Amino acid sequence: MQITFLGTSSGVPTRSRNVSSIAVRLPQRAEVWLLDCGEATQHQIIRSEVKLSQISKIFVTHMHGDHIFGLMGLLASCGMAGNVSHIDIYGPSGLSEYLAASQRYSETRLSYSIKVHTVKPGVVFEDDEFIVTCAQLKHRVTAHGYRIIEKDRPGRFNIEKAIEQNIPSGRIYGQLKRGEIVTLPDGRRINGKEFCGEPQVGRKVAYCTDTIYCDNSVELAKDADVLIHEATFAHQDSDMAYQRLHSTSTMAAQVALGANAKKLIMTHFSPRYAPGNALQLDDLLKEARMIFPNTSMAYDFMNYEVPAASNA
C-alpha cells in the first residue's frame, strides 16, 4: 500500500503545492483510490507514477472547492484513458447533484458508469480485503474523515510440512490454509492452524481534513499505521484556526498522540507560511514534533510506503 500526495496546499494552489488530493495505490489489486480531488488533480496524476486508468474509488471529505473542483475533469479524462469500466464515488450530501449538474451543463458523456454513495458515519465500503469507515469531523460544512483498514491475512501455509505428513493436495490444502479442522480420507483429523504461520496484521490509514481538533479524529486514527491530518495553521495562529475550524500543527500532533498512531504526516498547509515569511513550514514541523516526534510534512508527489503492521 503506497500513498502519493498529489496536492498539499489549503484553499488555493501555490507554485509548489496543488490543492488537496491523495492517491492510495493498491498494487495487489491494480487499483488506485483517491482521497479528495481538488482542482488540477488530473494534471498532478499525469506528473506522478499514479495510473489514471486504475482509479476505481474516490472518497470526498466535504464540498469545498479545493477538495472537489477537479472531479469533473478527472472523470472526463478517465473515460478517454481506456480500461476504466466503473468508478465509485463516496462523499457528503450534495455531491451527487453537483456531479450531475457538472455533467449536464458541460455536456460531458462518460464512457463508463459511476455511482455516487452518500456517506454517513460508519462503514461506507467493505469487501474481502478492506473496510472503509468514516466519521463526521468539525468544520464549517459537513465534513467526514476516513479510515482505511486492510483486513488481516492468514499466515504462510507450510506446504513442506503438509507434504511430509502425506496430506493430499487440492481442496484440503485450501481448508487448512483457512485454519479449518479437516478429516482426511484415512481418518486423521488435522488442525489447519498447525500448518499456518502468524496472521499478517492488516494496515490502517486515517485521513482527517478539514477539521479542528475533535474526538472523532482521534477515533478514526486509533492505532493507525499512518495518520494523514491537516495542519493548516501554526500554533501561534490558533485563534485563526478556531475561527475557521481548521487545525494547527499542534492539534494534528495531539490527535496522533491521543490515537496512539505510529506515524503522522501533516498536509493542507496555508500559503501564509511560504519562504521569506516570519513563520515557515519548518516551524510547524518543529511544533508538531515536540508533541509527536514521528511526524513528517507532506509535499506534492511525495510517496510513502505504508509498512506492514506488526503482529505485536
Transcribe 135-197 into DSSP letters: EE--SSS--EEEEEEEPPBPPPB-HHHHHHTT---SHHHHHHHTT-EEE-TTS-EEEGGGGB-
Statement: residue 311 has pLDDT above 60 = no
Residue 49 DSSP label: S
Name the catalytic one among 36, 66, 210, 237.
66
pLDDT at 199: 79
pLDDT at 312: 45
pLDDT at 57: 98
Burial class (CB in 10 A: 0-12, 13-18, 19+), 198: exposed
Question: In the numeric block, which cell numbers belong to residue 116?
Answer: 455516487
pLDDT at 236: 95
The mean per-residue pLDDT over the stretch 258-272 comes to 97
Write out pLDDT tens, residues 26-82. 998 999 999 999 999 999 999 999 999 999 999 999 999 999 999 999 999 988 876
The mean per-residue pLDDT over the stretch 290-307 comes to 98
Statement: residue 172 has pLDDT above 50 = yes
Write out pLDDT tens, residues 105-123. 999 999 999 999 999 999 9
Average pLDDT, the chain: 94
Write out pLDDT tens, residues 180-224. 899 998 999 999 888 888 878 999 999 999 999 999 999 999 999
CA-based nearest residue to 87, from 128, 59, 55, 129? 55
Sorted by where each starts, the structural domains of the chain and their CATH numbers stand as 2-153+199-305 (3.60.15.10), 159-195 (no CATH)
In the residue annotation, 66 being an active-site residue is answered as yes
Residues 52, 303, 137, 223, CA torsion sign: positive
Is the separation of the CB atoms in 22 and 306 below 8 Å?
Answer: no
Cα–Cα distance for residue pair 230/241, rounded to 1 Å = 11
3-class SS at 76?
Answer: helix
pLDDT at 10: 97
pLDDT at 198: 81
Write out pLDDT tens, residues 204-215. 999 999 999 999
The mean per-residue pLDDT over the stretch 8-12 comes to 97
Write out pLDDT tens, residues 144-156. 999 999 998 877 8
Beta strand 55-59 pairing with 86-91:
parallel
pLDDT at 34: 98
Statement: residue 309 has pLDDT above 80 = no
